[in-house]
Structure 1
Amino acid sequence: MSSEGEFVNRDYVFVVNPTGGNGRTGRDWKKLLPLLHSRLGKSWNVREALTTGPLHAIELAREAVQNGAAAVVAVGGDGTLNEVLNGFFKDGEAVHPQEIQAGPRTAIGLIPMGTGSDFARHFGWNVNDMNQAVDRLVVGNKRKMDVGRVVLVDDKVDRYFLNVASLHLSAKAGARVAKYKRLGNLSYVLGAIDAFRDHQNRNLKVRVDGGEWQAVPDVSAICIGNAKYFGGGMKITPTADPFNGKLEVVTLRDFKWYDFITKMHTLYAGSHIQLKNVSKESVSTIEVDEEMEAGRREVYVQADGEHIGFLRASFSVLPGKIDFIV
């Protein structure tokens, strides 16, 4: 961390992954920093916090929140934003300043620079327009935003997401995207094709909002959206809204490899929900498990593009849990 001393309530802390985008994020950040000082520095202390490896952004964000920073801003893609978000929580609870302070809670912001930047796409933000991003921070408008929560029951993992969580094929594809990341948005298509090579649709069971367990056969993927986009622009949960206190669940059943090729355009347009083997519903909670003997865990789970484990999993929404700079 390159800032000096502890964060205080006049600090805007920028969490930057300098190696993101094959080093492009670090180079763009160096160009952006003088602009932030000139435009934001009149009202706030501009502090930079550089990550050194996976999950480091969680630690940096948590330290900033505990020290009462005014805002923590993720500089990078959806992965960096996800880690910053998770720094706002610990052991299933929201993190609070170590000392009681007057004033609003720490806000979270985003300067999108990543390969996918799907969360920025939800708002129609231009990923390449740094002036637009700085304008948002200078104006400082905030809205109370919903947060998605994932608990992997077997591993007692507790993770949070702002964008989309998913399981099975889509989650496996996300885990394999890393091999092709240098190819930009094409990496998401190649990751999906790679995942299909050993994919088998699975019989799952789900429970919505505490109701009865229901069997769902031949599941290809289940996507749980707090926002609309994932996978480099696929409008997978097309009516999701991070301000309505609900999650949108889209279930794709009995997809074959050739379906993915012939129907890919519907995923980008959001029209896949009109297909006969696709369903959509609005929920507060959804639990998903395999209809199989215990001990064989093979169905991937991801949140905001980050692989976090395998079923069984529980997803829920925390309405208005953070203040997001829009």
Structure 2
Amino acid sequence: MICYYNHPIAKPSLLRAQNPMAFDLSSDNSVFRGVSSSPPIRLRDLVFVVNPRGANGRTGKEWKKLLPYLQSRLGSDCNICESLTSGPSHAIDITREAIREGAHAVIAVGGDGTLHEVVNGFFSDGKPVANQNEAVYSTALGLIPLGTGSDFARTLGWKNDPREAIERIAKGVRSRIDVGVISREAEGSHYFINVADIHLSAKAGYYASRYKKFGNMCYVIGALQAFMGHRNQDLRIKVNEGEWQTCSQVTALCVGNAKYFGGGMKITPNADPRSGSFEVVILQDFKWYDFLLKLHKLYNGTHLSVKNVTSRNVYTIEVDDISGSGSIFIQSDGEHLGFLPRKLSILPAAIEMIC
């Protein structure tokens, strides 16, 4: 039976189970537990946030194919709330409203861009969004990777297999993961779950976003366009609230909460979203031919031994452009944020994730 869920922002459709049996998915349980007592217990709401235009419309098509299996696997135990995004930042609004209304989980269906927005929806005005219904559980984050990149899923060792993702959701195992927060004076906070990067790679990501119709080739096209007129720049950084220091001729600076970006490049190979810290990798004085010669190392994560590549673990890092040009790009999870300066900080164990 299909009915509609009264949602003031997202207006998702709600596919309700006809079997009143519910599972206990509270945060202090690692797996679903059947409940057979009477009277019937309210079913748990799982809100699936879908970008139907993702991956050139492939996400929407794959979601329609997946929905019958999703209903058959989860529909007897949960309320399956489908919410289709209509444009940029809509997933943020949907997620905030779902958490406030007591959803058990919000599941991003798509690529890293959709996941990025859903993660940002877990926060508002610099703090976590609160459940207004005083539920005893916290809303969990879930993921069904269907997008172009799906780089965060790679860190967790997940395949782009939606049925495998549904099995994870069915088992309901939760684990706390870290989230990064990016701030700038007189501006609001921005959150990321995967990798934030600065200068050439961020510029490449900015251009790549224009070529998503070419799939993962968009990253190659974006990189080629970013190299045109590129100049390495001197940056200054402050690590863990210490003293400012100069990094000369920076090509790219990457702050990893997870390992991969750019469609499978293992840029911060030692990053772990459960570690409570970032891995920061800095590439200095790279020329265009360095990327061609060392591209395989960047993809397989063996580049830390390359000359002019450094790595360190940090809790906070501030980055500024010494020249003051205001033209050094920064992005997070493949989303363009603007330009330096910025401060990046880790929020340990900030979100519960179904994994």
- TM-score normalized with structure 2 length: 0.88
Q: Distance in 2 between matches of 1:225 and 1:42?
A: 39
User: What's 2:278 paired with?
Assistant: 247
Q: Distance in 2 between matches of 1:264 and 1:285?
A: 28
Q: CA deviation at 1:179?
A: 2.4
Flag the 1:75–1:3 CA change in 2: closer, same or farther, 3 A. farther
Q: Distance in 1 between matches of 2:143 and 2:168?
A: 9
Single out whichever of 71-80 and 157-166 deviates more from structure 2.
157-166
Higher relative contact order (CA 8 A, sep 6+): 1
- Alignment of 1:41 with 2:68, yes or no, is no
Q: Distance in 1 between matches of 2:234 and 2:285?
A: 10
Structure 2, unaligned runs of 5 or more: 8-13, 15-41
Q: Distance in 2 between matches of 1:285 and 1:243?
A: 16
Q: 2:68 corresponds to which letter in structure 1?
A: P
Q: Distance in 1 between matches of 2:145 and 2:267?
A: 20
User: What's 1:324 paired with?
Assistant: 353
Structure 1, unaligned runs of 5 or more: none
- Alignment of 1:115 with 2:166, yes or no, is no
- Alignment of 1:27 with 2:27, yes or no, is no
Q: Distance in 2 between matches of 1:9 and 1:218?
A: 57
Choose which of 260, 265, 268 in structure 1 pairs with 2:299. Answer: 268
Q: CA deviation at 1:32?
A: 1.0
Q: Distance in 1 between matches of 2:245 and 2:188?
A: 24
Q: Distance in 2 between matches of 1:272 and 1:198?
A: 24
User: What's 2:181 paired with?
Assistant: 149
Choose which of 66, 76, 79 in structure 1 pairs with 2:100. Answer: 66
Q: Give the secondary structure class of the aligned counterpart of 1:157.
A: coil
- Alignment of 1:126 with 2:164, yes or no, is no
- Alignment of 1:195 with 2:226, yes or no, is yes
Choose which of 132, 139, 149 in structure 1 pairs with 2:171. Answer: 139
Q: CA deviation at 1:3?
A: 4.2
Q: Give the secondary structure class of the aligned counterpart of 1:133.
A: helix
Is the Cα contact below 8 Å between 2:182 and 2:344 reproduced in 1?
yes
Q: Give the secondary structure class of the aligned counterpart of 1:149.
A: strand
Is the Cα contact below 8 Å between 1:72 and 1:106 reproduced in 2?
yes
- Structure 1 segments of 4+ aligned residues over 3 angstroms from their partners: 6-9
Is the Cα contact below 8 Å between 1:152 and 1:310 reproduced in 2?
no
- Alignment of 1:4 with 2:33, yes or no, is no
Single out whichever of 257-266 and 240-249 deviates more from structure 2.
257-266
Is the Cα contact below 8 Å between 1:3 and 1:48 reproduced in 2?
no
Is the Cα contact below 8 Å between 1:9 and 1:68 reproduced in 2?
no
User: What's 2:344 paired with?
Assistant: 315
Q: Distance in 2 between matches of 1:99 and 1:134?
A: 27
Q: Distance in 2 between matches of 1:92 and 1:274?
A: 38
- Alignment of 1:305 with 2:334, yes or no, is yes
Q: Distance in 2 between matches of 1:150 and 1:42?
A: 40
Q: 1:148 corresponds to which letter in structure 2?
A: G
Q: Distance in 2 between matches of 1:211 and 1:322?
A: 28
Q: Give the secondary structure class of the aligned counterpart of 2:189.
A: strand
- Larger CA Rg, structure 1 vs 2: 2
Is the Cα contact below 8 Å between 1:16 and 1:51 reproduced in 2?
yes
Q: Give the secondary structure class of the aligned counterpart of 1:57.
A: helix
Flag the 1:85–1:3 CA change in 2: closer, same or farther, 3 A. farther
User: What's 1:211 paired with?
Assistant: 242
Q: 1:126 corresponds to which letter in structure 2?
A: K
Aligned residues: 320
User: What's 1:179 paired with?
Assistant: 210
Q: Distance in 1 between matches of 2:181 and 2:278?
A: 10
Single out whichever of 243-252 and 27-36 deviates more from structure 2.
27-36
Flag the 1:3–1:227 CA change in 2: closer, same or farther, 3 A. farther
Choose which of 110, 114, 118 in structure 2 pairs with 1:80. Answer: 114
- Alignment of 1:161 with 2:192, yes or no, is yes
Q: CA deviation at 1:42?
A: 1.8
Q: 2:317 corresponds to which letter in structure 1?
A: I
CA-to-aligned-CA distance 1:117-137 (integer Å, 9 cap, x gap): 10111122111x221011000
Q: Percent identity?
A: 54
